[in-house]
Amino acid sequence: PVVSTGELVTQAREARRAVLAFNVITLEHAEAVAAGAERAGAAAILQISENAVRFHGGDLSAVAAATSAVARASTARLALHLDHVVTPELVHEAHVRGFGSVMVDASRLSYGDNVKATADAVRWGHERGMWVEAELGRVGGKDGEPPLDAHAPGVRTDPAEAAAYVADTGVDALAVAVGSTHAMTERTATLDHTLIAALHTAVPVPLVLHGSSGVPDTELRAAVAAGMTKINVGTALNTAYTSAVRTFLASDPSTVDPRTYLTRAREAMTQTVTAFLTALAP
């Protein structure tokens, strides 16, 4: 069934656990997240990024309808979330399509412009019962941008600034830069757990880790222990998908029916989802 992101995040925070959010690009991604959550006996968030909406011709309606239908039909508790929204109209579209939560990404703007853009979206969303996440600091590696130095000062989120940002914007959750980078295909990132703990103390709302595909399980568990509540995973699913397709096509170059290799791709993503959920199970 469909549940709200706010409910899953609040429950996780109260239990000092984390909820995993997986990025959906195709129907098979949504099916794999639902199947993985069922296998692990866990709840999860299905999130569609603005980037993925762009892939579907800029129209949220079809991919949102498919993802919603998968969530409704599943026995697992699944929430629907719009991720990395930079176009304000898409927040409105999310509401129309029955998505109860969004991540507003104004992290490329100056601090003042980020606060203004985010506060506007929060005001609009809260009037309609939406849950809004936003980012302060910069988690690099988005949209194929050159990687940022995740250790450079000014890239990571400052606790005092984070506290002011949450107060000034009214966001429900805060994505922070603590050492992870988007689009990593190896799990080699190390996180700043002292900074996570300081942010957890300074900020009254749940913290969100982006770029979690590149973070090893032990680092993820330590991050959750230090106060991280929502863990976003995207690239790991695509790595599993593509390597399964590559292996199958190499072994059977004559196949033309996409169901032959998409079955493998979906199963590989399901196993990845199950592995992340099991690694962070209470």
Regarding 5 and contact with ligand G3H (CB under 6 A), the answer is no
Regarding 133 and contact with ligand G3H (CB under 6 A), the answer is no
Least distance (Å) from Zn ion to the CB of residue 146?
Answer: 16
Regarding 270 and contact with ligand G3H (CB under 6 A), the answer is no
Closer CB to Zn ion, 165 or 248, in the complex: 165
Regarding 182 and contact with ligand G3H (CB under 6 A), the answer is yes
> Which of 13, 29, 97, 210 contacts Zn ion by CB under 5 A?
210
Q: Which of 59, 83, 143, 217 is catalytic?
A: 83
Least distance (Å) from ligand G3H to the CB of residue 252?
Answer: 29
Closer CB to ligand G3H, 67 or 257, in the complex: 67
> Which of 100, 179, 211, 227 contacts ligand G3H by CB under 6 A?
211
Closest CA to 238 of 69, 55, 87, 68: 55
Active site residue 83: yes
Regarding 81 and contact with Zn ion (CB under 5 A), the answer is no
Whether the Cβ atoms of residue 266 and residue 32 lie closer than 8 Å to each other? yes
d(CA 197, CA 110): 25
Whether the Cβ atoms of residue 175 and residue 134 lie closer than 8 Å to each other? yes
Regarding 84 and contact with ligand G3H (CB under 6 A), the answer is yes
Q: Which does 224 bind (CB under 5 to 8 A by kind): Zn ion, ligand G3H, none?
A: none
Regarding 157 and contact with ligand G3H (CB under 6 A), the answer is no
Binding site for ligand G3H (CB under 6 A): 23, 83-84, 182-184, 210-214, 232-236
Q: Which residues are catalytic?
A: 83
